[in-house]
């Protein structure tokens, strides 16, 4: 009887460790998502060759849920003029993304505006989003300014976020 209890003790601690680790990750993910919906200020400035000219430390960080499994390069070029196109590249490195990823933004009414949805076929894949600045408004006057882009997986988990500046 005593030897059976000794076998259960390591299992118990393993279970407690898994639960505690999961709770910490959930808490970190919730905090990350709260930051994503915070004030939109600053942006990472890049050129067409993906060189970072100035960096906003909040932009394009990968969420705790996908940390180490996904790599996101800063949006390029940024800023862009109205009528221009920017690109966002995401590399999956064994990430268990569910079926698709979706990029969008919240407009001035805080309404979700989807920009592009990409099907994910593999856990190891390069996904490129093509962002047309005209999707942010029907005229340069309406589109001009700083916009927060949000990238979600098929389960509505936030993967990353960052800002685009339209001139």
Average pLDDT over residues 127-152: 96
A 10 A CB-CB count for 43 gives 22
Q: What percentage of the chain exceeds 70 in pLDDT?
A: 85
* Rg, C-alpha atoms of the chain: 20
CA–CA separation, 120 vs 99, rounded Å? 5
pLDDT for 73-113, tens place per residue? 999 999 999 999 999 999 999 888 878 999 999 988 889 99
What is the chain's mean pLDDT, rounded?
87
- What is the domain partition of the chain in residue ranges? 36-166
Q: What is the pTM of this model?
A: 0.83
CA–CA separation, 156 vs 21, rounded Å? 21
Q: Is 36-166 assigned to CATH 3.40.50.2300?
A: no
DSSP state of 80: B
Cβ 127 vs Cβ 92: under 8 Å: yes
CA–CA separation, 140 vs 84, rounded Å? 11
pLDDT for 156-167, tens place per residue? 999 999 999 999
């Amino acid at each position: 009887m005593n030897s059976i209890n000794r076998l259960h003790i390591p299992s118990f601690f393993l279970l407690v460790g898994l639960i505690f680790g999961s709770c910490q990750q959930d808490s970190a993910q919730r905090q990350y998502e709260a930051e994503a919906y915070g004030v939109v200020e600053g942006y990472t400035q890049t050129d067409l060759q993906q060189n970072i000219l100035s960096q906003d430390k909040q932009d394009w960080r990968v969420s705790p849920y996908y940390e180490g499994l996904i790599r996101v390069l800063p949006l390029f070029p940024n800023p862009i003029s109205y009528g221009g196109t920017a690109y966002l590249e995401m590399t999956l490195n064994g990430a268990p993304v569910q079926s698709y990823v979706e990029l969008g933004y919240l407009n001035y009414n805080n309404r979700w505006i989807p920009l592009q949805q990409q099907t994910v076929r593999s856990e190891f894949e390069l996904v490129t989003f093509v962002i047309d600045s005209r999707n942010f408004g029907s005229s340069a006057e309406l589109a001009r300014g700083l916009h927060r882009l949000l990238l979600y997986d098929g389960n509505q988990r936030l993967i990353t976020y960052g800002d685009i500046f339209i001139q």
